[in-house]
């Protein structure tokens, strides 16, 4: 796409522009087609490394993404929520013996986010983070994660793409995904959360059971109701975050308590979402300490945390309400 050319080629990102991003967007089209053909959503009889039962659609999306990445010479390694180990993107190769040019990437992805809501045919998504180098572990997320994608499978198939390459301007785009690469279309070339005043204020309270354990969270929910915020919560991270990006306002809340542990994985969900929200002018923080999601390096692929993200003003309100900061 010409928009990628302007944003990436001046910074030496030829492979990212011509191979990695187009390959992943085409793969999102393939996953959408696979979902349309999957009339039955069922357990596949296998489990991932965490012991979670895998759905047939999870495995199909995983396999499609692995195949797409194997065709990108600059992608050295990849890991996913289904297989959370960084390994070569191509069978029989290691990151050390792959001959690549100056561009070397690792890709971390959640192939199909929203397993709990896919059976009733609600909107679900794919979450992808692209990192400089052959590993995301022990790397500074705010510097080394240089792109992320949210694929959205709803009545239409779309993708939100964030780019933050060194020396370039952070950018967030919305792309309509067609049947093939020739049919993809840029819907919005500059996705931004709006500035106040807001005609409508939206909130998406995930992990709502935690309100029974956290008086601060319960007070915050009550405050949203009293101030007549509009509830927009589907149970899916991707559609709820994208809703805010489309409407120009919103806050997504997934706090953590002693009885309601963190479920979102930093590498496969939080980092890519945080990059997109920040490139759109918002904020993404850890509700346990108020730190920016992208401020702390990863120690292992299974690290988890809560999430507060969305319009910067709303995130600050939540931070004060939950942490007193």
Q: How many CA atoms lie within 13 A of 227 on its CB side?
A: 13
**For residue 295, what pLDDT band results from cuts at 50, 70 and 90?**
very high
All structural domains of the chain with their residue ranges: 2-188, 202-323
Q: Does domain 202-323 have CATH number 3.40.190.80?
A: yes
Is domain 2-188 annotated with CATH 3.90.420.10? no
Tokens of 108: 């971390």
Distance CA 100, CA 110 (A): 25
One fold for 2-188 and 202-323: no
The per-residue pLDDT for range 41-96, each reduced to its tens digit, is 876 556 666 556 688 999 999 999 999 999 999 999 999 999 999 999 998 776 55
- The C-alpha atoms of residue 308 and residue 284 are separated, in whole angstroms, by 6
Strand-pairing partners, residue 292, are 285
The pLDDT of residue 44 = 58
pTM of the entire predicted model: 0.94
For residue 48, the model assigns a pLDDT of 63
CA distances from 265 to 9, 60, 202, 301 (A): 32, 21, 24, 8
How far is the C-alpha of 176 from the C-alpha of 157, rounded, in Å? 6
What are the pLDDT digits (tens) for 179-215? 876 789 999 999 999 999 999 999 999 999 999 999 9
């Amino acid at each position: 796409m010409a928009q990628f050319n302007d944003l990436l080629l001046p910074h030496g990102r030829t492979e990212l522009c011509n191979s990695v991003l187009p390959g992943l967007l085409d793969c999102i089209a393939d996953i959408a087609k696979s979902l349309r053909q999957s009339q039955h959503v069922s357990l596949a009889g296998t489990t991932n490394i965490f012991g979670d039962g895998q759905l047939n659609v999870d495995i199909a999306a995983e396999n499609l993404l692995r195949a797409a990445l194997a065709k990108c010479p600059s992608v050295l390694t990849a890991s996913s929520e289904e297989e959370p180990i960084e390994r070569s993107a191509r069978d029989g190769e290691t990151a050390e013996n792959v001959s690549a040019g100056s561009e070397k990437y690792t890709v971390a992805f959640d192939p199909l986010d929203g397993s709990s809501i896919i059976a009733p045919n609600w909107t679900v998504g794919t979450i992808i983070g692209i990192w400089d180098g052959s590993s995301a572990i022990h790397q500074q997320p705010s510097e080394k994660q240089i792109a992320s994608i949210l694929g959205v499978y709803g009545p239409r198939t779309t993708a939100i793409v964030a780019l933050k390459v060194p020396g370039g301007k952070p950018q967030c785009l919305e792309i309509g995904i067609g049947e093939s690469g020739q049919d993809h279309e840029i819907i919005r070339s500059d996705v931004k959360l709006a500035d106040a005043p807001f005609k409508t204020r939206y909130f998406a309270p995930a992990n709502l059971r935690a309100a029974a354990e956290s008086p601060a969270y319960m007070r915050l929910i009550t405050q949203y109701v009293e101030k007549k915020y509009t509830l927009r919560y589907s149970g899916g991270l991707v559609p709820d975050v994208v809703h805010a990006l489309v409407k120009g306002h919103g806050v997504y809340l997934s706090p953590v308590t002693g009885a309601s542990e963190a479920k979102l994985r930093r590498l496969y969900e939080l980092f890519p979402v945080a990059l997109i929200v920040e490139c759109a002018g918002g904020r993404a923080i850890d509700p346990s300490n108020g730190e920016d999601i992208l401020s702390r390096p990863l120690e292992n692929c299974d690290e988890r945390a809560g999430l507060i993200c969305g319009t910067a003003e709303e995130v600050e309100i939540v931070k004060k309400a939950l942490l007193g900061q």
